[in-house]
């Protein structure tokens, strides 16, 4: 998988996928016993194809929503972009406007790296560096992160005693304060109360205005319509339709009604 600075790549694009296929092996249990017993049997590998020959290119600064029903490959796609998985075939080229390696902030299941025994402040330090922030930029932004998350003095207490909403607010706040080029969002926009959700939307549109590239998965067509300028519709691991928000949504809704989705 090519990570950056491919001479043959087009620097207009933040994200470029060329014939990307991702397969998972289905293994039925992992244990040493099985491995030893299995050594004497012929290997039978079951493969599950999550994405099949997917190609598209997203220019810098575009906001793209990925829609499709469960199991259509949306999460696999996002995980490939976040470099959690490696593709089995094809190329994924990610770059920032200078053609260098971009900073990617994943908003996937917020707070995956939180530790409940540590205070909010300690978690900001850790989660921030997990998302690739340097110590310097963390020091510079820490006040702004706390302010945005509306936690006030609570940041000095361990996360164990926080409610879920507070944890989500902190996670979101850290993620949007990273020096990101590409933001990946996995159905988390619907966090917190109404007021915080508005603040999130506002922050997202600020990022859009600042020319950041955003890819998000959603089941909520309303938010896709509001935020995205382009929609990629995945179906059974392939791109079924890729185009401007209005026309893809129209087709998607029609297929939904007809049950041919």
Name the residues that contact other proteins, by CB under 8 A.
Answer: 24-33, 35, 79, 82-86, 104, 106, 108-109, 112-113, 115, 117-118, 122, 125-126, 129-132, 134-135
d(CA 148, CA 90) in angstroms, rounded, equals 40
Residue with Cβ nearer other proteins (54 or 188)? 188
Residues 6+ apart with CB under 8 A from 63: 208, 213, 214, 215, 216, 227, 228, 229, 230
| Least gap, CB of 88 to other proteins (angstroms) | 11
Order of strands across the sheet with 230-235?
104-107, 182-186, 213-217, 63-67, 230-235, 238-244
Residue with Cβ nearer other proteins (105 or 146)? 105
Residue with Cβ nearer other proteins (84 or 246)? 84
| Least gap, CB of 56 to other proteins (angstroms) | 21
Residue with Cβ nearer other proteins (158 or 241)? 158
Residue with Cβ nearer other proteins (118 or 261)? 118
d(CA 122, CA 224) in angstroms, rounded, equals 34
Residue with Cβ nearer other proteins (30 or 222)? 30
Residue with Cβ nearer other proteins (8 or 31)? 31
d(CA 163, CA 186) in angstroms, rounded, equals 21
| Least gap, CB of 118 to other proteins (angstroms) | 7
| Least gap, CB of 108 to other proteins (angstroms) | 5
Residues 6+ apart with CB under 8 A from 73: 22, 50, 51, 54, 234, 236, 237, 238
Burial of 79 (0-12, 13-18, 19+ CB in 10 A): middle
| Least gap, CB of 131 to other proteins (angstroms) | 7
Nearest 10 degrees: Cα torsion 118, 166, 105, 176: -120
| Least gap, CB of 192 to other proteins (angstroms) | 19
| Least gap, CB of 132 to other proteins (angstroms) | 8
d(CA 61, CA 42) in angstroms, rounded, equals 50
């Amino acid at each position: 998988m090519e990570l950056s600075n491919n001479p043959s790549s087009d620097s207009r694009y933040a994200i470029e996928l060329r014939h990307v296929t991702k397969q998972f092996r289905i293994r039925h249990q992992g244990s040493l016993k099985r491995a030893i017993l299995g050594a004497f049997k012929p290997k039978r590998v079951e493969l599950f194809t999550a994405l099949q020959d997917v190609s598209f290119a997203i220019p810098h600064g575009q906001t793209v929503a990925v829609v499709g029903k469960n199991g259509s490959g949306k999460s696999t796609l996002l995980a490939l972009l976040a470099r959690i998985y490696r593709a089995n075939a094809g190329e994924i080229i990610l770059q920032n406007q200078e053609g260098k390696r971009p900073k990617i902030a994943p908003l996937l299941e917020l707070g995956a790296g939180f530790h409940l025994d540590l205070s909010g402040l300690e978690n900001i330090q850790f989660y921030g560096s997990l998302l690739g922030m340097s110590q310097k930029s963390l020091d510079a932004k820490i006040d702004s992160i706390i302010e945005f998350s509306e936690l006030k003095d609570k940041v000095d207490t361990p996360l164990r005693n926080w409610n879920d909403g507070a944890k989500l607010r902190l996670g979101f706040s850290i993620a949007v304060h990273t020096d990101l080029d590409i933001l990946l969002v996995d159905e988390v926009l619907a966090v917190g109360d109404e007021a915080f959700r508005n603040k999130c939307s506002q922050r997202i549109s600020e990022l859009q205005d600042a020319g950041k590239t955003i890819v998000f998965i959603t089941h909520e067509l309303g938010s896709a319509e509001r935020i995205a300028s382009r929609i990629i519709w995945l179906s059974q691991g392939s791109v079924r339709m890729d185009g401007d928000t209005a026309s893809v949504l129209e087709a998607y809704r029609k297929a939904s009604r007809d049950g041919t989705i």
